[in-house]
Amino acid sequence: MTVKDIAGYYKALAVEVGADLAGKDVRTVLERKLGVSRSLLSRLKLTEYGITINGVRAYTTAKVTEGDLVAIRMEEEISEDILPQDLPLSIVFEDDYLLVVNKPAGIIVHPTKGHYTNTLANGIVHHWQVNGERVRFRPVHRLDEDTSGLVVIAKNPYIHQQLSEQLQAGTIMKMYCAYVYGAPSPAEGTVEAPIDRDPEDPHVRIVTPEGYPSVTHYKTTDVYGEGQAARVRLKLETGRTHQIRVHMKHIGCPLIGDGMYGPQSGKVDKWESAAGRQALHAETLGLTHPMTKEWMEWTAALPPDLEKLELALREC
């Protein structure tokens, strides 16, 4: 038996019932075989072709027999609140389920109040519109405006759920490159310091005992001058807002070019101007593809502004 495509729906996700699940209900089959969340199941139940057994609409409580084909279909969606814009995009990977893009510094991921255009979302929505795809913009994670590098976007609710669970479980690999003042001591280690909002400024994050658990692993790869600056590779175990910037400041090595968390004194003007922004780049992203179950990994080369900074650092 084959699963038919239905107009207005994304490609169906199907599972054939084996002897181990015969007599179970549809909910159990979908949770065990596809890992479908309860919230997504609730949405699927509302549509005519959301959940089917052998092509016939079914309830999640329906019992299945061996050989049944249970399928889910999600309705196509678009981001009606995001204005499509023809913006330059650096697409690293794309298939029917997800998109990985190399975001430049100086652009935010998603429109915010008072900032409705010239975001990554505007450009991607336009890209999908041109290609005739009806897809809603669903970023799995975000980068600060002035951080460059890799971002993954899910192309339907199921993929977003699966990747979000990987993110929460810490199985999505996110590696960053940063240029900092000073040289971390020890040269390699882990920063475990809880982070929360600064009570005096909600836009700023601080290390505080009352904060949320936050873990950053780091390794110094280059030291410039007599420890005046360093290049550091970082791996996030948690994903708090501004985590790398806050943790590097916490160990006495704030990022070069960071206007919010940079040093109060002792800045080197030529380094600051070379970077032009916080010297942070999301260089490597790895994840398990929710459909193929294969591990996939991408790397984004250092952007020109940080290459310029590195040249300046090598001169010290």
What pLDDT does residue 279 have?
Answer: 98
The token duo for 65 is 């027999």
State the average pLDDT over residues 46-58: 95
Contact between 290 and 177 (Cβ < 8 Å): no
On the question of pLDDT at 110 being above 90, the answer is yes
Taking the C-alpha atoms of residue 21 and residue 166, their distance in angstroms, rounded to an integer, is 25
Amino acid identity at 147: T
pLDDT band, very low/low/confident/very high, at 1 (cuts 50, 70, 90): low
User: Residue 126 burial (CB < 10 Å; 0-12/13-18/19+)?
Assistant: middle
What pLDDT does residue 132 have?
Answer: 95
Question: pLDDT of 282-297, one tens digit each?
Answer: 999 999 999 999 999 9
- Of 4-8, 122-126, 206-210, 296-300, minimum mean pLDDT range: 4-8
pLDDT band, very low/low/confident/very high, at 265 (cuts 50, 70, 90): confident
What pLDDT does residue 3 have?
Answer: 82
Question: pLDDT of 55-73, one tens digit each?
Answer: 999 999 999 999 999 999 9
Taking the C-alpha atoms of residue 276 and residue 309, their distance in angstroms, rounded to an integer, is 9
- Write the DSSP symbol of residue 118: S
Taking the C-alpha atoms of residue 300 and residue 284, their distance in angstroms, rounded to an integer, is 6
State the average pLDDT over residues 258-273: 93
Q: Which residues are catalytic?
A: 144
- Secondary structure class of 47 (helix, strand, coil): coil
Taking the C-alpha atoms of residue 126 and residue 128, their distance in angstroms, rounded to an integer, is 5
Q: How many CB atoms lie within 10 A of CB 212?
A: 13
What pLDDT does residue 183 have?
Answer: 97
Question: pLDDT of 135-178, one tens digit each?
Answer: 999 999 999 999 999 999 999 999 999 999 999 998 999 999 99
What's the Cα-to-Cα distance from 30 to each of 16, 75, 102, rounded to whole Å?
Answer: 10, 17, 34
Please provide the average confidence, as pLDDT, over all residues in the chain. 95
Cβ contacts of 210 within 8 Å, gap of 6 or more = 194, 196
Taking the C-alpha atoms of residue 177 and residue 278, their distance in angstroms, rounded to an integer, is 11
Q: What percent of the chain has pLDDT over 90?
A: 94
Closest CA to 102 of 284, 289, 275, 241: 284
pLDDT band, very low/low/confident/very high, at 181 (cuts 50, 70, 90): very high
Q: What percent of the chain has pLDDT over 70?
A: 100
